[in-house]
């Protein structure tokens, strides 16, 4: 049976199962979510009002044996940025949705009853929408365990904690991972959209369904073999990430003078060695954790890890560079175990690690609490935010709003979204991605490399402007394309060295659908998605003036390189000349 669109209407608690329109057939992941949001959501709508929609979609290769194909995309208008948003995550949901034949799950409208939260349960051609009062006010791990007890471990679970219920802009959506822990649809405050629709939890049960047919199974298997080989034999995806995780970047970015510290005052951190991937890996080995851990079935990179405390007890998994940076370098906590504890709390309550960490940096700058005070952070996350106190709501409103409330000038946001762990003054290519991506300041928007459009000539100097706009454009096009396959974006790393990697990925897509896509088709897909998202933002009122770096970066130099943001508006706007 062909894939279907599952549509849930919260206004009358009804659902329909629809044929996939022809123009959506070749799309998946971000390509599909952004296409549907652009087609069905009024760009001028209030993100928390009745006219916003949530669109969940597995990738084109999700549910197959393709290595690293288990990412789920969620699209909506973001209440944080006011623009279009695609957030994606590992976990088990992409494979389960694909096996059930769910091309996309669209949730629209708001329920009439404002004091009831609902549970949406998706099965073959059926959806139930029922009140779930017993889980209101509970956090993610309790919600997750309750659902697993009710439906068994093979069910996909999306949930929000109390910040999402309260429609806080730092809230995210949790996704069950293969071990029964949590991954996150992190950025853009999409937990608040789920909260506005009064949905506490969504479960998807594929039962015995296996709708992921292959048009040419033999070719698919051969291409997947080549693809997996490329991932496993590459020094990044095959060795560096499994050994040290993404946190290996702390020392590297610090050495480059691009590790934002103390709310983006400095480009290096005194805490770098404590925070480093090397140190985290040592702790994991000493304490019986795991340096390798996959966020979804079929991952051969295993960049995640299991981090235990000094007594060998589980604390957290998915302990990523950006989270460790946010609380260690940017907010200044000098103890990695305190940061791990905070990571666990954030998984439980469901807040975006980057936005929350950047918010604490701005709050410290404004004098709300001292820099580096881990206990103060823990108290706010466990008491103030869940109870919706004024302090909890202030932090829950995100970095841009806290900056306004406290009269802070040094507020590192683009389109009101907090900047991740790479200083735009010292790593200028990243800065161009922050200002131009339709997503607001987002590092993963420019993460992938498509070698067929990469200008490999010449040395890129991260401190200089030359070549950066073109580089960022190429990275963003490739990232948009990879995000649409449902692949983890890390699959693009071997592509820099191994010319067999991306063609094998395209071969798999062709063998899955009986298509004849070329590398150029895929890069064109990336271009089209970017343009579609940009057009949505323009209609939403986000114009050129929103494609700008915070002003302080244009007059404050960043130690140690005394770097400054020196792009003209014309240079930035030329990004869209394609």
Annotate 498-525 with b (16+ C-beta within 10 A) or e (fewer): beebbbbbbbbbbbbbeeeeebeebbeb
Query: CB of residue 474 vs another protein: minimum separation in angstroms?
Result: 9
Residues 541/44, Cβ–Cβ less than 8 Å? yes
298-337: contacts with another protein (CB under 8 A): 303
Under the criterion CB under 8 A, does residue 499 sit at the interface with another protein? Answer: no
Closest CA to 385 of 413, 331, 345, 419: 345
Separation between Cα atoms, residue 471 and residue 59, nearest integer Å: 26
Residues 363/294, Cβ–Cβ less than 8 Å? no
Closest CA to 92 of 187, 169, 199, 204: 204
**From the list 41, 394, 427, 509, which residue makes contact with another protein (rule: CB under 8 A)?**
427
Under the criterion CB under 8 A, does residue 488 sit at the interface with another protein? Answer: no
Q: Provide φ and ψ at 182, rounded to 5°.
A: -125, 135
**From the list 104, 107, 155, 249, which residue makes contact with another protein (rule: CB under 8 A)?**
249
Nearer to another protein, 146 or 523 (CB): 523
Binding mask 437-456 for another protein (x = CB under 8 A): ------x--xxxx------x
Nearer to another protein, 101 or 429 (CB): 429
**From the list 26, 131, 240, 388, which residue makes contact with another protein (rule: CB under 8 A)?**
240
Q: How big is the site for another protein, counted in residues (CB under 8 A)?
A: 44
Under the criterion CB under 8 A, does residue 367 sit at the interface with another protein? Answer: no
Binding mask 286-305 for another protein (x = CB under 8 A): -----------------x--
Under the criterion CB under 8 A, does residue 436 sit at the interface with another protein? Answer: no
Residue 302 preceded by cis peptide, ω within 30? no
- Tell me the C-alpha to C-alpha distance, in Å, between residue 123 and each of 101, 163, 203, 460, 578: 10, 28, 9, 50, 42
Under the criterion CB under 8 A, does residue 253 sit at the interface with another protein? Answer: yes
Under the criterion CB under 8 A, does residue 101 sit at the interface with another protein? Answer: no
Residues whose CB is less than 8 angstroms from the CB of residue 403 and which lie 6 or more positions away in sequence, other chains included: 362, 366, 409, 410, 411, 413
Query: CB of residue 503 vs another protein: minimum separation in angstroms?
Result: 20
**From the list 255, 383, 566, 571, which residue makes contact with another protein (rule: CB under 8 A)?**
255
Separation between Cα atoms, residue 148 and residue 133, nearest integer Å: 17
Q: Which two tokens stand for residue 524?
A: 């064109």
Under the criterion CB under 8 A, does residue 269 sit at the interface with another protein? Answer: no
Under the criterion CB under 8 A, does residue 252 sit at the interface with another protein? Answer: yes
Query: CB of residue 238 vs another protein: minimum separation in angstroms?
Result: 9
Nearer to another protein, 418 or 462 (CB): 462
Q: Which two tokens stand for residue 108?
A: 């629209």
Nearer to another protein, 188 or 257 (CB): 257
- Sign of torsion, CA 217 220 226 231? negative
Under the criterion CB under 8 A, does residue 214 sit at the interface with another protein? Answer: no
Q: Point out which residues bind another protein (CB under 8 A).
A: 235-237, 239-241, 243-244, 246, 248-249, 251-253, 255-257, 273, 277-278, 303, 422, 427, 429-430, 443, 446-449, 456, 458-463, 471, 475, 490, 493, 496, 560-561
């Amino acid at each position: 049976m062909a894939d279907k669109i599952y549509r849930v209407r919260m206004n009358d608690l009804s659902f329909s199962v629809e044929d996939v329109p022809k123009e959506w057939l070749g799309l998946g992941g971000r390509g599909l979510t952004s296409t549907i949001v652009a087609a069905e959501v009024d760009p001028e709508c209030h993100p928390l009002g009745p006219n916003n929609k949530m669109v969940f979609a597995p990738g084109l290769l999700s549910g197959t044996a393709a290595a690293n194909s288990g990412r789920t995309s969620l699209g909506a208008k973001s209440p944080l940025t006011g623009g279009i948003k695609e957030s994606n995550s590992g976990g088990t949901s992409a494979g389960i949705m694909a096996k059930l034949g769910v091309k996309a799950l669209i949730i629209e409208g708001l329920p009439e009853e404002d004091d009831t939260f609902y549970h949406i349960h998706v099965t073959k051609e059926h959806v139930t929408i029922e009140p779930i009062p017993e889980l209101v006010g509970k956090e993610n791990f309790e919600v997750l365990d309750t659902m697993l007890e009710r439906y068994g471990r093979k069910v996909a679970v999306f949930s929000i904690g109390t910040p999402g219920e309260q429609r806080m802009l730092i809230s995210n959506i949790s996704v069950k991972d293969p071990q029964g822990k949590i991954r996150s649809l992190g950025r853009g405050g999409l937990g608040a959209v789920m909260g506005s629709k009064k949905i506490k939890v969504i479960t998807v049960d594929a039962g015995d369904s296996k709708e992921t047919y292959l048009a040419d199974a033999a070719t698919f298997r051969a291409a997947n073999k080549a693809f997996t080989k490329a991932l496993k034999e590459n020094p990044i995806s095959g060795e560096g990430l499994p050994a040290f995780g993404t946190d290996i970047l702390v020392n590297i970015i610090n050495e480059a003078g691009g590790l934002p510290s103390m709310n983006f005052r400095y480009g290096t951190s005194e805490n770098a060695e404590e925070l480093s991937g090397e140190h985290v890996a040592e702790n994991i080995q000493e304490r019986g954790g795991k340096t390798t851990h996959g966020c979804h079935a079929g991952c051969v990179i295993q960049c995640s890890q299991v981090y235990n405390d000094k007594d060998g007890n589980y604390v957290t998994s998915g302990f990523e560079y950006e989270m460790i940076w946010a609380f260690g370098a940017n907010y200044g906590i000098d103890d990695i175990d305190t940061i791990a504890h905070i990571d666990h709390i954030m998984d439980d309550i469901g807040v975006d690690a980057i936005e929350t960490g950047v918010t604490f940096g701005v709050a410290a700058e404004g004098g709300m609490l001292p820099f580096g005070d881990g206990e103060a952070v823990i108290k706010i996350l466990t008491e103030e935010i869940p109870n919706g106190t004024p302090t909890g709501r202030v932090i829950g409103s995100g970095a841009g709003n806290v900056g306004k409330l406290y009269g802070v000038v040094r507020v590192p946001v683009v389109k009101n979204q907090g900047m991740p762990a790479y200083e735009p003054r010292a790593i200028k290519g990243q800065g161009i991605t922050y200002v131009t991506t339709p997503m607001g300041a987002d590092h993963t928007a420019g993460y992938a490399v498509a070698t067929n459009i990469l200008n490999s000539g010449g040395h890129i100097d991260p401190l200089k402007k030359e070549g950066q706009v073109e580089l960022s454009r190429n990275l963003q096009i490739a990232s948009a394309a990879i995000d649409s396959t449902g692949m983890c974006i890390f699959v693009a790393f071997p592509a820099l060295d191994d010319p067999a990697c991306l063609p094998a990925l395209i071969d798999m897509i062709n063998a899955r659908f009986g298509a004849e896509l070329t590398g150029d088709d895929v890069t064109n897909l990336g271009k089209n998605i970017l343009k579609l998202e940009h057009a949505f933002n323009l209609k939403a009122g986000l114009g050129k003036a929103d494609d700008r770096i915070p002003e302080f970066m244009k007059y404050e130099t960043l130690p140690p390189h005394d770097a400054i943001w020196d792009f003209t508006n014309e240079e930035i706007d030329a990004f869209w000349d394609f």
